[in-house]
Amino acid sequence: MNILASYRYQMADHKKAILIFYLVIIGLFVVSGLSSALVTTGAGESYTRSVNGNEMATVIFLFVIGLCTFKETFLLSLQNGVSRKTLFSAKIVTMLSVAAIMALVDKVIGLISLAALSLTSKGVIAVTFYEGLYPAQTANTSAFVIHLESFFFEFVLALAAMAVGYFITIMFYRLAKTGKVIVGAGVPVLCFMIIPWLDTHFFNGRLTMAFARFIVAAACTPFRVVLTSLAVFILFSALSYLLMRKAVVKR
Amino acid sequence: MNCIELKDISKSFGATQALRGVSLRFEENKIYGLLGRNGAGKSTLLNIIANRLFADTGQVSVNDLPAVENDKAQQMIYLMSEQTLYPEKMKIREVFKWTKNFYPDFDAAYAQNLAAQFGLDTKKRVNSLSTGYSSIFKIIIALSVNTPYVLLDEPVLGLDANHRDMFYRLLIEKYGNRPSTFIISTHLIEEVSGVIEDIVIIKNGEIIRNESCESLLSKGYTVSGKASQVDAFIEGKEVIGVDSLGGLKTAHIMGVPDRREIPEDLEVTKLDLQKLFIQLTNS
C-alpha cells in the first residue's frame, strides 16, 4: 500500500518538470522543422539530417531530475510513515516508469518529426539519433527493429543517468559540510587536474589511453551500451540504497 | 499489547549522550505529557519512535511490531515535529491531499473545517506561513490524521493565547470523539497540565518520572495565605518554591499535608506542576 502511495507521489512530483521539458522540446522541433523547410537543395542533391537529438536531451534532463528528487521526497516520506526501503523501491519503479514513458514519447516525437521533415524538405534523408550513432549496425536492419532498439537504448541510458544523479544527491545529503566541500571540489580537481598531470608526467598518456579504450569497449555497439547502462543503473542504485538506509532527518 | 514500547534506548550525537537506556511504555488511548528541559532528549525520543533517527542501542515496538523501518508500524504513528518536513513550495491543500494518500484515515473534510476555524488559508504555500501558522497547519494534520498514536513535539510553538486555547479545546474534543494516544512534548507545563493524564519527565536523557498526573501531584501540595502564617507553617518542610505578592505568600511543599496542623487561615490546594517540574529537573 505504502509503495503505491509513494510511487503515486513520486510520479506526480516529476509530472510538471516533464511537461515543461516537452513543451520546450516540441517548441524546438517546430522551429527546427520550419528552418529545415526553408533549406533548398540543388537538383539531384541530397543531405542527411539527423533528428531525435531530444533523446540525449532527455537523458541529461533525467540526470538532473535524479539530482533534484531526493531530499524533499525523503523528508515527506518520513513525515508520512514511509520507510526508507519502501521509498527506495518506489523510486526504482518510478525511474523505470519515467524512463519508459519518456523514451516512448521521444520515439513518438521523433517519428512525427521524421515524417514532417521528409514531407516538407526535398532531398533530405532523415535518420534517427540512434542510426546516426551506429550506422554500421543499423544499415541492414528493418525500421521497426531500429525503432524498438533505439527505444530500449534510450530507456537504459535514461535509467543510468537517473541512478547516477540520484546517487550524487544522496551522497551530498549524507555528507557533513566538510565532506561536501572535499567531494565537491576534490573530484573535479582530481579528474581534471591531478590525473591529467600525473598521466603527462609519470604515465606518458597511458591513463588517458586506458580510459579511452574503456569508453570504446563499453560503447562500441548498442548491445554493449545497453549492458554498460544497466550495470551503471544497478551499481548506482545499490550504492544509493546503502547510503539511504541509514539517512536521517537533519536539523 | 497495544502500546508503543521502548526498551533500553540509547542515542548519542558525537560526545553528547542524548538518551541513556530509556525504557518506557505509551499505552493506548491516553494523553501523555513528555516534559523536560531544553536538550533533555524529548525530540530525540520522538524522532526515534517515528523512524526519523536511529537509536544506537535498544528496541522500539508499536503494537508489538518493530518500529524501525517498518511501514506497518509507522502507519500507526504520526509525528508533528517542530521541523517542517513538507515540501516548501507545496500548497496546504495539496499537503492535505497527499496526507490522505499516505494515511487513508485522514479526514480531509475535518481538516478543512479546522483550517477555517483557525483562519488558515489552504491556498498558501508551506514556506509562506508564519511560525504560528506553521504550527497550526501541522496541528490540523495531526488532529485529522486518525492514527492510533499522535506525537506532538512543541505543538503550540508560536501560537497566540487564543489559538493555544483553541488547540487544547480541539484536542480534548478529538480525544472524546475518537480516542487515541497523544504524546505532547512541551515547555508550557501550566497550560498542558489540564489536558494530560500521564506525565513522563526526562532529564539528561533519562526518565526520572513516569506516572499519572494525579499521582505525581499528590506527592505535594500548595499552601497560601498571610506571609507570616505561611512562613511559620513551612518551617522544617521540603519547600520547592515560594511566590509572594504583597502580604500574601504561596508555598509549594513536598509531602502529604496533615490537615490537623494546617492553620484555618491557610488555604491548601493541589501542587503546582510547573513548580514540581522545576524542582525535579533543576539539580
Who among A2, A8, A76 is closest to B86 (CB)?
A76
Q: Do B103 and A249 make contact, defined as CB atoms within 8 angstroms?
A: no
Decide: B216 and B272 in contact? Cβ < 8 Å: no
- Can you give the pLDDT at residue B128? 97
| Cell representation of residue B273 | 506542576
**How many angstroms from the chain centroid is the CA of residue B11?**
21
Band (pLDDT 50/70/90 cuts) for residue A138 is confident
- Can you give the pLDDT at residue B152? 97
Q: In one letter, which amino acid is B13?
A: F
Residue B272 DSSP code: P
Q: Which residues of A touch B101 (CB under 8 A)?
A: 5, 8-9
Q: Do A83 and B69 make contact, defined as CB atoms within 8 angstroms?
A: yes
Output the furthest CA–CA distance in chain B (Å, rounded): 65
> Given phi > 0 = left and psi -120 to 50 = alpha, else beta, which region is A25?
alpha
Rounded Cα–Cα distance for residues A38 and A33 (Å): 9
Rounded Cα–Cα distance for residues B110 and B177 (Å): 13
Q: Which residues of A touch B52 (CB under 8 A)?
A: 78, 248-249
- Can you give the pLDDT at residue A32? 74
Band (pLDDT 50/70/90 cuts) for residue B283 is low
**How far does A91 lie from chain B, in Å, by closest CA?**
16
Q: Does the pLDDT value for residue A96 go beyond 80?
A: yes
Rounded Cα–Cα distance for residues A182 and A119 (Å): 54
**Average pLDDT across chain B, whole number:** 93
Q: Do B102 and A86 make contact, defined as CB atoms within 8 angstroms?
A: no
**Number of residues that this document lists for chain A:** 251
Report the chain B residue with the minimal C-alpha distance to residue A72: B87
Q: Does the pLDDT value for residue B190 go beyond 90?
A: no
Rounded Cα–Cα distance for residues B219 and B87 (Å): 46
Q: Do B83 and A251 make contact, defined as CB atoms within 8 angstroms?
A: yes
Who among A5, A72, A78 is closest to B51 (CB)?
A78
pLDDT digits (tens, 9 = 90+) for B97-106: 999 999 999 9
pLDDT digits (tens, 9 = 90+) for B114-127: 999 999 999 999 99
Band (pLDDT 50/70/90 cuts) for residue A40 is low
- Can you give the pLDDT at residue B265? 87
- Can you give the pLDDT at residue B53? 97
> What percentage of residues in chain A have a pLDDT greater than 90?
65
- Can you give the pLDDT at residue A16? 93
Most A-contacting residue of B54, B65, B101, B152 (CB-CB within 10 A), to test interface: B101
Whether the ipTM is more than 0.95: the answer is no
- Can you give the pLDDT at residue A51? 58
- Can you give the pLDDT at residue A61? 95
- Can you give the pLDDT at residue B258? 82
> What percentage of residues in chain B have a pLDDT greater than 90?
77
Q: Does the pLDDT value for residue A44 go beyond 60?
A: no
Most A-contacting residue of B102, B127, B147 (CB-CB within 10 A), to test interface: B102
Band (pLDDT 50/70/90 cuts) for residue B193 is confident
Who among A75, A76, A83 is closest to B71 (CB)?
A83
Who among A2, A76, A248 is closest to B53 (CB)?
A248
Q: Does the pLDDT value for residue A68 go beyond 90?
A: yes
- Can you give the pLDDT at residue A49? 60
Rounded Cα–Cα distance for residues A168 and A170 (Å): 6
Higher pLDDT, A134 or B148: B148
Band (pLDDT 50/70/90 cuts) for residue A142 is confident
**How far does A6 lie from chain B, in Å, by closest CA?**
8
Mark B23-47 as b/e (b = at least 16 C-beta within 10 Å). ebebeeebbbbbbbbeebbbbbbbb
Decide: B184 and B32 in contact? Cβ < 8 Å: yes
Q: How large is the average pLDDT for residues A64-73?
A: 95
Who among B47, B85, B103 is closest to A76 (CB)?
B85
Q: Which residues of B touch A80 (CB under 8 A)?
A: 98-99, 102-103
Strands B3-13 and B16-27, how do they pair?
A: antiparallel
Report the chain B residue with the minimal C-alpha distance to residue A79: B85
Pick the range with the lowest mean pLDDT from A18-22, A65-69, A116-120: A116-120
Side-chain-side CA neighbours of residue A182 (13 Å): 6
Residue A49 DSSP code: E
Who among B53, B83, B99 is closest to A80 (CB)?
B99
Q: In chain B, helix, strand, coil percent, each to 5? A: 35, 30, 35
Q: How large is the average pLDDT for residues B57-65?
A: 97
Mark B70-79 as b/e (b = at least 16 C-beta within 10 Å). bbebbbbbbb
Q: Does the pLDDT value for residue A41 go beyond 60?
A: no
Q: Does the pLDDT value for residue B25 go beyond 60?
A: yes
> What percentage of residues in chain B have a pLDDT greater than 70?
100
Most B-contacting residue of A70, A80, A82, A241 (CB-CB within 10 A), to test interface: A80
pLDDT digits (tens, 9 = 90+) for A186-242: 999 999 999 999 999 999 999 999 999 999 888 888 899 999 999 999 999 999 999
Pick the range with the lowest mean pLDDT from A148-152, B52-56, B78-82: A148-152
**A27-31, A52-56, B87-91, range with greatest mean pLDDT:** B87-91
Q: Which of B3, B13, B22 is nearest to B210 (CA)?
A: B22
Burial of A178 (0-12, 13-18, 19+ CB in 10 A): exposed
Most A-contacting residue of B13, B48, B76, B85 (CB-CB within 10 A), to test interface: B85
